[in-house]
Amino acid sequence: MTGVICGTGSSIPVHTMDNNDIAKLVETSDEWIRERTGVVRRHIIEEETTVSMAADAARKALADSGTAPEDVDLILVSTISSNVILPCAACEVQRQIGAVNATCYDMSAACTGFVFGYCAALAYLSCGMYRTILVIGSESLSNLTNWKDRGTCILFGDGAGAAVVKAEEGTFYQPVTHSAGSLGDALTCTSRHARNAAQLPEEELYMQMDGRGVFQFAVRRVPEVIGEVLEKNQVPIGDIDWFVLHQANRRIVEAVAKRLKAPLEKFPMNLQEYGNTSSASIPILLDEMRRDGRLKAGQKIVIAGFGAGLSWGAAILDWTK
Ligand code: UT7
């Protein structure tokens, strides 16, 4: 018994900001952003919210998998940027999609969130506790972005992706997950609800990042964790059709491919269109690849995430649709 992705969906805000729009806010240029990150534009919420995008992506994933909302046992929303604190985003999604029989909660693991969410789903499904799980990554990072900081505001975007994961017969691949709280200062954001928030310098209430530090962490740890997950499951690297990585920076993806000595064509990217959407980036990309026909039954995929915490992880899955 394993957890199989039976359907995907995504939800992207209508409004876009291209690099020239960013260059009106901070000292930067389209050329610099494209060269150093690969990002060309990002979608930014106006009317949409983290919850509305999550519900929209969830509805599409349910439709794609032919699942009725009442058949969902668990809704897991990974987010660091919900518009609601109470009730949790997952309960709001439940209300909007009518998944009346689901248990619902949110998880906070930033850009590793979808991978950790999939791992949690895998554990629940393989032990028989639940049979149908909606794993959603939804982010409105524009609310946490310091639009005066060129080191971060060039990177991030908003959006949501969802996957219906069901208990089915198939190979169970052990995922690999890691966290290193001792390195947490590399990527931080203090809650605006902190008791002393009013006394804090404004920038602390937005994301602050040691860009170079996170970059170096990613290019070392991501190939390593992919190696670990392949080794643990005795899967040769050549058997993997797609490496679906968290979409943080084109140069990170290229460096990971190089270190793994795997062809870059196996590393799909859509960060040029969406920027870094944290926990939403992997399910948005999977959904795009499913819709444009790149994903085919019988293919093997590695998903790998990394980010604040610091945290990182990878999982292997068989695509069966
Ligand atoms: O989702 C997971 C979390 N985040 C990440 O994965 C992000 C990982 N890090 C990165 O993607 C990159 O470090 C950044 C894109 C954030 C920055 O790129 P970089 O190549 O690491 O630039 P840098 O910080 O080393 O700065 C290089 C130069 C500096 O100038 P000097 O000191 O060489 O004269 C910066 O002041 O580029 C300058 N710079 C900029 N120039 C124009 C930094 N940001 C900008 C900018 N526009 N936006």
Could you confirm whether 43 is annotated as catalytic?
no
Classify domain 176-318 by CATH number.
Answer: 3.40.47.10
Could you confirm whether 83 is annotated as catalytic?
no
Per-residue pLDDT reduced to its tens digit, 26-52 = 999 999 999 999 999 999 999 999 999
Distance between Cα 271 and ligand 1 center (Å): 16
Residue pointed to by tokens 């610091």: 310
Distance between Cα 153 and ligand 1 center (Å): 11
Ligand 1, atom 42, lies closest to the CA of 28
Q: Which residues line ligand 1 (CB under 6 A)?
A: 28, 32, 36-37, 111, 150-151, 154-155, 187, 209, 211-212, 214-215, 218, 248-249, 276, 307
Q: What value does the CA radius of gyration of the chain take, rounded to a whole number of Å?
A: 18
Looking at residue 321, what is its pLDDT?
83
Looking at residue 284, what is its pLDDT?
98
**Identical fold at 2-168 and 176-318?**
yes
CA nearest to 253, candidates 284, 231, 227, 223: 223
Which ligand 1 atom is the nearest neighbour of the CA of 306?
2
Which is the catalytic residue, given 111, 119, 153, 189?
Answer: 111
Looking at residue 194, what is its pLDDT?
85
Domain range list for the chain: 2-168, 176-318
Tell me the backbone φ, ψ of residue 256, rounded to 5 degrees.
-65, -45
Looking at residue 195, what is its pLDDT?
87
Which ligand 1 atom is the nearest neighbour of the CA of 22?
48
Low-confidence residues of the chain: pLDDT under 50:
none
Ligand 1, atom 48, lies closest to the CA of 150
Looking at residue 317, what is its pLDDT?
97
Could you confirm whether 270 is annotated as catalytic?
no
Distance between Cα 211 and ligand 1 center (Å): 6
Looking at residue 140, what is its pLDDT?
98
Ligand 1, atom 13, lies closest to the CA of 211
Classify domain 2-168 by CATH number.
Answer: 3.40.47.10
Distance between Cα 308 and ligand 1 center (Å): 17
**Bridge partners, residue 176, by sequence:** 314
Ligand 1, atom 47, lies closest to the CA of 28
Looking at residue 197, what is its pLDDT?
87
Which ligand 1 atom is the nearest neighbour of the CA of 110?
1
The Cα–Cα gap between 4 and 184 comes to: 32
Ligand 1, atom 17, lies closest to the CA of 211
